[in-house]
Structure 1
Amino acid sequence: MSSSIRKIFGKIMVLVLLGVTLGTTGLGTVVPVSAAVFNPGLHAGILDQGAAANLDDSDQLTAFIDGIMDVQMGSLQIPGAVVSIVKDGKILLSKGYGHSNIEENKAVDPKTSLFRIASTTKLFTWTAVMQLVEAGKLDLDTDVNTYLKTVKIPKTYKQPITLRHLMTHTAGFEEGGVGYQITTDPGKLPVSIAETMEKHMPARVKPPGEMLSYSNYGASLAGLIVEEVSGVAYNDYIQKNIFDPLDMKYATVEEPVPASLEPYAVLGYARANGEYVTKRPTYEGGFRPAGSGSVSANDMAHFMIAHLQNGRYEDKQMLKPETARLMHSPAFQFDERLPAMDLGFYELNMNGLRVISHGGADELFNTALYLVPDQQVGIFVSYSGGDGGTAAGGLAQAFFDRYYPAHMTQQPAATSIELGEPLEKYAGSYQFTRRNHTKIDKFFSFLTQINIEVSDNRLSIGSGADQQVYTPIGVNLFQEVGGKHQMGFRTDAEGKVTYLFLDMLNPMPLEPAPLINQSKFWLTLLGISVVLFITVFMGAMYRRREIKAKPRAQKWAVWLSVVMSVWSLVTLGATLLVMNMDLIDRLSYIPLSLRLYLFMPLILVGLTASIFMMTILAWKNKYWTLPRRVYYTFVTLAAVTLCLFFDHWNLLGWHFG
């Protein structure tokens, strides 16, 4: 895959994970791909295909990782990072890079420096769930309402939501977060998980078990179940049942971090005017089971070792072996030929190895964790700024290329004749299943779609140098040309495509976007409407003397169209500003500017209703010439189109979650 197409996927995932469609910064997963851009120099230590380096050679391993980090820290503008690698129950490498506090010239310490791990926190929550399953207090396939005391999930569908659904992200919730997902004010903490779950419950939009739709709400709901069934506050439960047994002394899910750990908290940085500047931290509040963790690299190494050793760390058993094996086994599969979703972990195919993984990202921190159960190997990496998502995937792929190089085999491409039908049915626009349907959040998914085209018996994404091409290798299965990734589809009984799965984006499947949801459809209509509105304004300015001489009714009709056109253009301009609102502001509270903006589409509806009535009068009373009446009608239709756009994307009214 070219570096440019990786950047496209990276940007899509950043948009998705940082809230454009999902409404979260601290709770998104890192691009689970290895889909990150490789910078020159990242492959410097990779051996020839098939010649694996010796992972037990710690000096060689350290030199290799140092070389990668040296390149990444500079080229990707990363101020601080940490890496820990484990194998066979031992830490092979745990090392910090850069600074945890630039102003104080404090270096990153892998033993004590607390990196925010965002969604990687979910692994603590899922582990806690499995502990209670093991204790007989929870059952994976029982209605979650059985366990919830303060919140009840509506019975939207016949099938109830279970913990298995929550852990595989197949509960069927929409995603949201505008105005409430995070907070930047520590004075508002602590926040009750139960109250947050009750107040900001998303709609159920798919039957449980049907399809993956990564859900922060679902993970937080699982944390609430842990709290209410165990009788222990979530923070305390994780501390007593995971951190303490695993000797994780520099780990917490509290927000802000406890005073005793505050000196070790790593600051996140952004780049501004050629310098690193600190930015306000964000807190997950009531969503903390999905993303509030701050942990050192050494402590995450303990956690990785426990999972790799079927729940055992030194003489402590965090989970029974059978429970750990169940947690690490496929629990939902889009296609048995593609990576599965386990109970809390998502699977990746890294050079032919089955890897179970999880990541996390907020505005400043990027984290990834990779476990290879068959090799007893684990990798944890976290970055405190810069392009950390790209860096994490790049480091992981470089590691696997060096120590577990792929033995590439040429798979014969299947022809459309062999598949029994042409590939055109796969072409079209696809939208992520993880998106909002009922609130203003829906608008922020307007541009997050992937388009697939067919050419020469292949499918392609992107164009030109950014094009990524897939060739068919089986029914509903495609292989990246010149790459390692695969793409699969689901079809219904009639052969119509229902879902798309890119292994690099597990667990983020897509589904065909109906015409009414396609951004290119709306952009075309809006473009035509804008042209019409501009011609109305320009024409009125040019013909103002002629208009002044018209009869009063006709004069009013013309000036009404001018006012409506100008207001439409201004409203569209304001809509662009709304789309580009500061992400943290948008997710932490409802800005007054957003509340005021939402009056604008409503005013437009009033103007549109007025011009619609005026159009009827124009035809009834035969205002102007026939061509001008037709033109006036098209302007009215443009206004109606704009109103329909605002209505469809939940911008008519105050639809806050």
Structure 2
Amino acid sequence: MRSLPLHAPGSPRSARPLVRLGAVLATAVVLAVSAVGCGTPQHNPAPPINGPAAPASGTASALTGADVNAWLDGLLPAALDRTDIAGATVAVVNNGKILTTRGYGYADTGAGGNAAVPVDPDRHLFRMGSVSKLVTATAVLQLVQSGKLDLDADVKTYLDFELPLRYERAVTLRHLLTHTAGFEERIAGLIGTNGGDLNLRRALMTDPPEQIYQPGTVPAYSNYSNALAGYIVERVSGTRFEEYVQRNVLDRAGMPSSTFEQPLPAALRDRVSNGYDTSAGPAAPFEIVGTPPPGALSAPATDMARFMLAQLGEPVGFAPLLDQPTRELMQRPALDATSLGTLADGPRMTLGFFAEDRNGHRILGHGGDTKYFHSHLQIYPDDRAGIFLSLNSNGSGALDSHELRESIVNGFADRYFPARDDQPTAGVDPATTAKHAALAAGTYESSRAIQSNFLTAIGLVGRTTVSVADGDRLLVEPGPLSDSPALYEEVAPWVWREVGGQRTIAMRATDDRVEAISFDSAFALLPVEPARAWVVAVPVLALSTVVLLLTVLSWPVGAIARRWLGSARRERAGRTARILSRVAVAGTLLAFAGWVLSIGSIMGLQDVPGPVLRAIQVLQLVGLLGVLPAAVRLIDDVRRHLGWRRITASGLILFALAGAGWFAVEFHLLAPSISY
């Protein structure tokens, strides 16, 4: 699956996570809510050696097996050791041949007492995560090629159950494959360890995600969309999805050791690499992806090399997966300005691939992550080359796996396909650019989001701030797909390029505001609603929580003080309002604690039972309804002139309950839907 169940714009996209970045998000939420075969491949084992120096800018190294091996051998062994990643597998193709496959580190570290087993790129299967989506998209295009599917037909034509759609515009396969069907994020059942009775239809029908965007207008990465496309393949072909892709994609491409089956077939079970948190830790259980099409593929590097060759139209010795017109259709941008407006001037999805251009070269790619495996595939259609990399561990740092993957694929591009001289330059007059920059300034959140239930609160973290710099430039903090600020200049109307970098963003705007910023093929940034701004929501939540906590602490302190001083018991007048207010205070704090624990579990891909979430909502509702007795208590204290201390305390409690209630309503903690 693609890193991050909920994508933080400034974080690596390669949720391409799930769990590592999900854990970071969960931690932030806790803090906020608590407020307080073709040619002869060369492969390992290879001893680490010093790789040759990188070529000067604009000068490419020769893309040969010897040079690639030396380069990889000089980088990966030391990187695995530094990051505590157990193993890696790599494949490189060029000019219709498998140039090299390499294995580094261990498929089994021996942590369970058995002998350590080095990674063998021919033998050991790694989990592909969302790289699987490319196989699913290929299967869809095969059926389009044969006339059994229409990319622009309403998907209702192919389904045997109803989708709860908000908008009248039809959802099409084109939308599903480009992540523009408009669905919000869905986390439940994404990855587990129970491979009992997997049923794709049942999984898709059970609590489907809400549609929150007009189809075709907002890129918003969606595992559900790809799973739905896979189910349509199953429906139209009359064959289980796993069986269809095995026979028509994997076997046809010469990938005999690859499979979507979960658990693995008996013949492959002793060939799968273990997954690890770090190289020093125990092996994790085999991961089960709840809906196989978006992320269940297991494959060795050699098979993935053959898949790249097939996508490049050079399946030497094997049958083509697609004819040339269909392959070209799959690999060109699938939506234009008619749907996306000026967002179409930025990175766009093809029918399955991300646009990952670098150095002026056209690059199509896809990353993927499970809890423990992290993969990336890139092909260069115009240069007849490709690289695949997979890691079997998270590493000791939260971003280790992402950074290592990026360093390899970007290093490959810079070494063998360096920058061309025809990079775009600024072409917008300064006055227009300054106006555009001023309109773009603001705070944004990712389009990959949940907006229909309690997980809306996660939107408080991972936001991006855009501000004007030097009058006509934009400072984006953090930069897209980065954790550091990035400076952008306008190179065409509403198209901005990173100063001294490679990334491009595009904006869709009206006369008075920017509606969306596309920063990656399947992701966009959307303006944050004023009421949900961090500077509003977090202070209200923090102050409310502090007041409620101090109120609870004051109860035993007050009781002890009255007993110690021999003070009279509090009068009975207003007793009912006081008791109900106390119940509301306690209910609100218990609800907040419940949300913190539940959200932390969910972001760690642990299911939270529905009755537990409903119980938390009841506590939250008790707190919200407590605003009424708290107001009665304040009015009574004022009417009876009970002194400024009592009146102030009653006023603060009313404020805290009202603030907590506002937060609960604004961030959908009380929404009827608890599907996530």
Query: Where on the TM-score scale, by shorter chain, does this alignment land: which range?
Result: 0.7 to 0.9
1:277-301 per-position Cα deviation (integer Å, ceiling 9, x unaligned): 222332123x111111001100011
Cα offset, 1:534, TM superposition: 4.6
Which of 375, 380, 392 is 1:384 aligned to?
392
Residue aligning to 2:629 = 610
Cα offset, 1:463, TM superposition: 7.7
Cα offset, 1:59, TM superposition: 1.2
1:312-362 per-position Cα deviation (integer Å, ceiling 9, x unaligned): 443512111110011001112554542221011111121111111111111
Residue aligning to 1:144 = 155
Residue aligning to 2:368 = 360
CA contact (8 A) 2:436 2:494 kept: no
1:98-119 per-position Cα deviation (integer Å, ceiling 9, x unaligned): 1111123111111121100011
Q: 2:185 aligned with 1:175, yes or no? A: yes
CA contact (8 A) 2:185 2:222 kept: yes
Residue aligning to 1:276 = 281
Residue aligning to 1:30 = none
SS at match of 2:665: helix
Q: 2:356 aligned with 1:341, yes or no? A: no
The one-letter code sitting in structure 1 at the alignment partner of 2:284 is: K
**For residues 602 and 166 of structure 1, what CA distance do their matches in structure 2 show?**
37
Q: 2:446 aligned with 1:427, yes or no? A: no
Residue aligning to 1:509 = 524
Structure 2 gaps, min length 5: 1-6, 26-48
Cα offset, 1:251, TM superposition: 0.1
Q: How does 1:435-450 map to 2 (within 5 A)?
A: 435-450=449-464
Which of 286, 309, 313 is 2:313 aligned to?
309
CA contact (8 A) 1:12 1:448 kept: no
Shift in CA distance, 561/589, structure 1 to aligned 2, threshold 3 Å? closer
SS at match of 1:316: coil
259-268 vs 510-519, greater mean Cα deviation: 510-519
Which of 306, 311, 322 is 2:325 aligned to?
322
CA contact (8 A) 1:42 1:395 kept: no
Q: 2:589 aligned with 1:551, yes or no? A: no
CA contact (8 A) 1:22 1:436 kept: no
Q: 2:414 aligned with 1:401, yes or no? A: yes
87-96 vs 383-392, greater mean Cα deviation: 383-392
**For residues 539 and 214 of structure 1, what CA distance do their matches in structure 2 show?**
48
Residue aligning to 1:455 = 469
**For residues 14 and 406 of structure 1, what CA distance do their matches in structure 2 show?**
23
**For residues 16 and 574 of structure 1, what CA distance do their matches in structure 2 show?**
29
**For residues 327 and 517 of structure 1, what CA distance do their matches in structure 2 show?**
39
The one-letter code sitting in structure 2 at the alignment partner of 1:431 is: E
CA contact (8 A) 2:15 2:368 kept: no
634-643 vs 252-261, greater mean Cα deviation: 634-643
Q: 2:59 aligned with 1:51, yes or no? A: yes
Which of 146, 163, 167 is 2:173 aligned to?
163
CA contact (8 A) 2:444 2:525 kept: yes
562-571 vs 445-454, greater mean Cα deviation: 562-571
Residue aligning to 1:3 = none
The one-letter code sitting in structure 1 at the alignment partner of 2:285 is: R
Shift in CA distance, 614/20, structure 1 to aligned 2, threshold 3 Å? farther
Shift in CA distance, 77/163, structure 1 to aligned 2, threshold 3 Å? same
Q: 2:504 aligned with 1:497, yes or no? A: no
**For residues 162 and 139 of structure 2, what CA distance do their matches in structure 1 show?**
21
SS at match of 2:601: coil
Cα offset, 1:389, TM superposition: 1.9
Q: How does 1:58-73 map to 2 (within 5 A)?
A: 58-73=65-80
1:57-100 per-position Cα deviation (integer Å, ceiling 9, x unaligned): x2121000111212321222210110000011101111111111
1:357-384 per-position Cα deviation (integer Å, ceiling 9, x unaligned): 1111111010111011000111111000
The one-letter code sitting in structure 2 at the alignment partner of 1:507 is: A
The one-letter code sitting in structure 2 at the alignment partner of 1:121 is: S
Shift in CA distance, 550/199, structure 1 to aligned 2, threshold 3 Å? closer
Give the TM-score normalised by the residue count of structure 1: 0.86
Residue aligning to 2:163 = 153
CA contact (8 A) 2:9 2:463 kept: no
CA contact (8 A) 2:182 2:213 kept: yes
Shift in CA distance, 71/595, structure 1 to aligned 2, threshold 3 Å? farther
Aligned length in residues: 621
262-271 vs 427-436, greater mean Cα deviation: 427-436
The one-letter code sitting in structure 2 at the alignment partner of 1:579 is: I
Cα offset, 1:411, TM superposition: 3.5
**For residues 92 and 125 of structure 1, what CA distance do their matches in structure 2 show?**
26
Shift in CA distance, 554/42, structure 1 to aligned 2, threshold 3 Å? farther
Q: How does 1:208-227 map to 2 (within 5 A)?
A: 208-227=215-234
297-306 vs 421-430, greater mean Cα deviation: 421-430
Q: How does 1:182-197 map to 2 (within 5 A)?
A: 182-186=191-195, 188-189=196-197, 191-197=198-204
Which of 318, 332, 336 is 2:335 aligned to?
332
Identity %: 29
1:146-197 per-position Cα deviation (integer Å, ceiling 9, x unaligned): 112x22334532221111111111111122123x3333212x23x2211111
Residue aligning to 2:537 = 522
**For residues 147 and 111 of structure 1, what CA distance do their matches in structure 2 show?**
38
1:33-67 per-position Cα deviation (integer Å, ceiling 9, x unaligned): xxxxxxxx9997322111211113x2121000111
Cα offset, 1:637, TM superposition: 2.4
Q: How does 1:286-301 map to 2 (within 5 A)?
A: 287-301=291-305
Shift in CA distance, 437/43, structure 1 to aligned 2, threshold 3 Å? farther
